[in-house]
Each structure stands twice: as C-alpha cells, then as structure tokens.
Structure 1
Amino acid sequence: MRFSEKIGKTPFRVSMQIESIDEKLENRLWNTIQINFFDVIGVNFYHSVQKDSDIGYVFQAIWQEFFGNRADEIPKNQLRDISAQEFVEYIKDWFFKSHWFEKYDFLEFLSNIDLSYLEIGFIEHCNNSLKKEMSAYRIVDACIVQITSEEEIVEIEDALLNSSVWEPVNTHLKTAIEYFSNRENPDYRNSIKESISAVESFCKIIIGNDNATLAPALKIIEEKHKIHGALRSAFTALYGYTSGAGGIRHSLLTNDIEVSLEDAKFMLVSCSAFINYLKVKIEK
C-alpha cells in the first residue's frame, strides 16, 4: 500500500477486478505485452519483418488467427515486408478500445504462443501484472482462470507440475481447467468430473491397479502410506457426490442442483491440493 493510501488521501482497491479492467491494470497489461513479449522477441519499430522469420510467424498468427484478418492486408512497407511499427500500433489501438474480456482473450492467445513456441516467460510476467492490480484472473497452462486466491493458483500449478510424469492425471487436470476457464461456455459439471478423475487416476497409479475405483484405492493408500482416515473419508464422500443418482457423472434430472463456478472451483483446488499431498506422502 502506498503512503497516500495509508493516510486516506487516495483510495485503495479492496476487491478483486472480476468483470472489469481499470485503467491501471489496462496500462500494466499493455506494458507487459510491449516489454515482455514484443521487445523480448526482438520487435524493432524501425525495421521491417520478413514473413518467413520467427517474428513474421508470430505476427501472421496474431493477424490471421486471433484477429481473423485477411493475409494480404497485414501492414507492409515498400519492400512488401511486414511493417513492425504499423502492426504493433494496430494492436495497441485495438487493445485500448476492446472490452475487458477481449483483452483477456488476447493475453490467452499470446500465452499459447509463448507456451507452445517461444518459451520466453511471458505467462509469468502476465501473472505478476494481474496480481499487482488485483485481477481475479491468472494464466494457468495458457488458460485464463478465475481464481481469487494466490494459494489456490499455487496448488493448481503445483499439481500440474507434480503430475507431469503421469499422463492420465495431468490430462484430467488440464481438461478440468479448460472446462472451468471457458468464458463463453464454461462447463462446471464436467470440470468437477475431470478434477475428481485426476485424483482417481493418481490413486490407481499409486496402488498399481487400473481397475480400482477411488474408495478402495484410498483404503489401500491409507493403510500403506498412513494418510488420515478422516481425509480418506472426505474424498470418498466427494467421489460419492460426483457419482450419486443426481451426481456429476449422471444425466441431469429435474431436481438436480445446478453446478456453479464455486462448486467447480472448490473441486479443482481441493483435488489439486490432494494430489500434491499424496505425492508427498508416497515419496516419504
């Protein structure tokens, strides 16, 4: 908190930015895009960009895939190379006129380029900017996710890292994140299903039995690795919640309770934390 905020001369933000982006966050995000993306990959406003270069590939992906523009209309100079200055100015003009959710769309697109192609650490810088301005969103595995607690982000990221050597577990977790983070059509029901399936898959791997279900697998793990009985019972009950007559894994019934963002968030964070916990226990 700044000095002026402490003495009450200027207000300080007390709530997360959820369905909005204020001017400070908007400016910080643009600075992150400029400094930690364009500058890092070597964009020079005074130079042109050849189409078959690495920067040319990135520019064309942004122009055609994100904006959906015609390939022959990308800004060019007299030599028919891409004009870096005009290209970035086009993006900047769009960015400051776009809706808050469109800005996050763009961050997500650049994050996918970073994760799959560039590997320049752009996602980490974005998350730092989002954290500093109290955004309710973070980027996890190149997806924008609404999670308001930093501890929750850590649990999910650690679970993704810890499960990277176990493909089924990792796949279930990533799918849960994708369902949860889809802003146009979030699927909280299937996100919960994938979260608990990640735990079940990990338990199967621990006991070496692909045919086991969660409850008996947890019983074996409780006895072998000394996990608390109450914790085993809690996750067995959660599994029952997803598998019961009106549960997550069954067709919707007229009297079913609607699955909310809060339900899916709780399951994603809880299952991630439990996977991290189990990993520590079996390594002792």
Structure 2
Amino acid sequence: MTRYVPYSERVGATPPPERMQVGELSDELRRRLSNWWHRCSNRIYTHGTGYNCGYRFYDDRTHQGSQICYTEIWGRYQAEFPEDGRGFFDQCDNLFRTGSYFDVMNTLHFFLEMNFPQGYLVEQLERLLVDYNSPVTWNDKEKTLIPHSSPEEGQTIVRALASTKEGSFNGSHTHLMASIDHINCNNPADSIRESIHAVESVCRQMTGEKTLGPALSKLKKNHGLNEALKQGMDKIYGFTNTAQGIRHPILEKEEELDLNDAQFMLGACAAFCSYLINKLAPAEKQSSEP
C-alpha cells in the first residue's frame, strides 16, 4: 500500500515529506515509524487468560528476537529484559520517537534482516521508508540498508552492487558493501577509503595494473575511457591518496570528514564502477579473445 497523498499536498498548499540526509530523521518519519510499530502490537505481545492474564510475548520466535534486539542491538543487560512483551514494545516505541538516528537505524536493520515481526508488516516498513523520504532504503538481496541522498542515488548504488556481483568483480563488491556498512555505523573516513578501493579494484582487475592511476591511463589508451571521466576520477582519487597510494593527509584529519563526504564518495564511486563494468568491461573481454 502506497502513501495516501492529502488533498492539500496534491494542490500544492502543503509540501510533500521533506527530504532527509543520512544522519537525519524528520518528526514525520518518527511519527510514521511509531504508528507502524503500534500496528505490529498484536504480533509482539498478547494478553494471557485465566490466572495468566498479564501481558506475554506473541510466540517464542518473537520472544527470542526481542531478546536479541534488547541485548545485542541495544546493548542492554539480559537481567533487565522485560519478559512481559509490553515492556519491550514500549521501549521500542520510545526509541522511534526520541532515539538517535543510528540507534533507530540499527533497530530497523535488525527488524528487516530478521524479517521481524513477520511478513506484510516488514513489507509495510520497507514501503514506509520509501514513501516518507527516508535517507535509507532496504535492499533485500544484500540484506542491508542502502544510504542515499536521493532515490536516484540509491538506485545507482543498488545497480553497482548488482553489476559487481554479476560481473564477478568480487573485490569491488566487497568494498562497496564495506563502504555502506561504515556509513551506517557513522564511520565516514573508513567509508571513503572503501569507496575508492571499490573503483581501484575494478580497474586493477580489468587492466592488471597495481594502482588506480596507471590503470585509468591504460583504460583510456586501450578502451577509450573518456578523458574528462579519467581526470574526474584522478581528482577524486587524489582526495584520498597520492599517486603512490599513500594516504592523503585529509584522511588523517578524520574529524573534518562527515557523512556528506562519505555519501558523495559512495555515490560517485558506485556510478563509476557501474560505468566501467557495463561499458568498458565487455570491450576488455573482446580484446582479450583470440
């Protein structure tokens, strides 16, 4: 079920849901997450009957999943776990209302990865993240939240993950996934390193060169890599490394980097990986055939 668009929004009297950047959660999205969680209530806890008339978890799977979320995702003590079901429900609702961005995203990632609660409720959560302009969307194939600054950038990253996996560029795929994980864990400097390593891995695999600079030159000479694109990636590479592959000083000042830097680098490098694989890799393969 897609989002209902109010009449006032349709005629331009009120704005659509605001676009958020990675690290931001709007009040509207928090409210929608809380409302979704309340729709899940009958799959989280229930009322007992007779002498056992208090609250209890819906079933054993829900009980176990809630324990894992409480102790492993939230980092709480097992001894403090609310065994009645309603206590866990209320704490999670409070998290959606007031918790930090990364605490909320860690919890959502757990729910989506574990299909928790279950079925159509998880599908509703996936749809909600799209409809209300969340800065992340769920990729079920990779079982991860994809951070993005726009839906179009999110699609670019998903295409790059598919291209690297289907094209057997396993090293690049691993680096892209690591870059995503570092953004989701608020480690922008590490994410930037992994993004550029993803491009470097594709270029090295296609050319046999050991570093990105010579590999780009070889791609330009042998396979017609556009000069402007080559220069652009050379400059992006210079943001993180010298020509000899030594760490650039900017990455030693990690406090100057933020998630905006990391998100830009992930989007740019993902797009370049897709371009290299889909446009130049076929030519590379043909040139090596007898």
Query: Do they fold alike, i.e. is TM over 0.5?
Result: yes
Superposed CA deviations along residues 40-91 of structure 1, whole A, max 9, x for unmatched, are xx6573576599x543431220222234444345444xxxxxx555543553
**What do the CA deviations read for 1:237-276 (whole angstroms, capped 9, x no partner)?**
322332239x982345999994444333222111101111
Q: What is the TM-score of this pair, normalised by structure 2?
A: 0.70
Q: Can you give the 5+ residue segments of structure 1 that lack an aligned partner in the other structure?
A: 77-82
In the alignment, which residue of structure 2 is the partner of 1:156?
157
**Corresponding residue SS for 1:45:** strand
Which SS does the other structure have where 1:212 is aligned?
Answer: coil
- SS of 2:19's equivalent in the other structure is coil
Cα 1:283–1:118, aligned 2, differ >3 Å: closer, same or farther? farther
Contact (CA 8 Å) 1:64, 1:70: kept in 2 or not?
yes
User: Out of 230, 235, 243, which is 2:228 matched to?
Assistant: 230
Greater RCO structure (CA 8 Å; 6+ sep): 2
Q: Provide the residue aligned with 1:174 in structure 2.
A: 177
Structure 2: give runs of 5+ residues left out of the alignment.
49-55, 284-290
Q: Distance in 2 between matches of 1:149 and 1:236?
A: 25
Q: TM-score, normalised by structure 1?
A: 0.71
Give, in whole Å, the separation in 2 of the partners of 1:62 and 1:187. Answer: 25
CA distance in 2: counterparts of 1:257 and 1:100, whole angstroms: 20
Deviations 1:147-190 (A, max 9, x none): 3211111111222222234332122112222333334xx333x3
Given that residues 188 and 258 in structure 2 are in contact (C-alpha distance below 8 angstroms), is that contact kept between their aligned partners in structure 1?
no
Q: Which residue of 1 aligns with 2:193?
A: 193
**Pair 99,234 (structure 1): closer, same or farther in 2 beyond 3 Å:** same
- 1:187-266 to structure 2, matched below 5 A, reads 187-188=188-189, 190-207=190-207, 209=208, 211-244=209-242, 249-252=247-250, 258-266=256-264
Task: Look up the match of 1:71.
Answer: 78
Name the counterpart of 1:57.
64
- Conserved 8 A contact 2:163-2:278: no
Contact kept, 8 Å, 1:46 with 1:85, in 2: the verdict is no
**Percentage of pairs with the same residue:** 27
Query: What do the CA deviations read for 1:172-221 (whole angstroms, capped 9, x no partner)?
Result: 112222333334xx333x322221111111111123x2x52112222333
Counterpart position of 1:21: 26
Q: Contact between 2:18 and 2:26, CA under 8 Å: does it hold in 1?
A: no
**TM-superposed deviation, 1:139:** 4.6
Structure 2 counterpart of 1:16, which letter?
R
- Count of residues in Structure 1 that have an aligned counterpart in Structure 2: 263
Tell me the C-alpha RMSD between the 2 structures: 4.0
Amino acid in structure 2 at the alignment position of 1:162: S
SS in 2 for 1:242: coil
